[in-house]
Amino acid sequence: MADEVMIKNPTYFGIVCPKCGSDDWRVVRTKGSLEAAALNTVDEYMITPLKARCRACHRAFKVVPVEADESEVLSQPATLVAHRVSRITGIVVPNYILVNGVISDSIANGEEIQIELRTKHVYIQMFDASMTGSATFERFEVQPGETVKRDMRIKARWRSF
């Protein structure tokens, strides 16, 4: 695909809404064949544009992680320990964690995985198996060698037909 790029240290840091310039936005869905990558073993990632929505002006736009500059790359990797909270609604549905624009391995109900973080500013979000439903988009900053634990959950969505 022409929109795909190869990035070694992806980050969303510094990306703003093209309409209002706000950096308060979130990824709202993935599209296409975004393949899961083992974040701890890959040197470069194939990045596909994702759909985002600005929280300030509500404009939808495509967002592509950028290569982190030297000041953004950690001297020693940090670790994210992501725990998927057990819920009855998620017993059989695997979820995926988006970290700086790269999808990690799937995470089962009640499971915990460790993900290596290479950049100072981290953007995480959990998607369900359809890659459209998502939990809260969270941003935080890490220090070299730090271990950060996050509990991840997706709210149940009930539909009436």
141 lies in some domain: yes
pLDDT tens for 16-35 read: 999 999 999 888 765 543 44
The pLDDT > 90 percentage for the chain reads 29
pLDDT at 95 over 70: yes
pLDDT confidence of residue 110: 85
| Residues 127-157 pLDDT 10s | 776 665 555 578 899 999 999 998 887 665 5
Q: What is the pLDDT of residue 34?
A: 44
Q: Which domain holds residue 141?
A: 5-152
Query: How many whole angstroms separate alpha carbon 40 and alpha carbon 159?
Result: 37
pTM of the complete model: 0.74
The answer as to whether 120 is a domain residue is yes
Q: Establish if 102 belongs to a structural domain.
A: yes
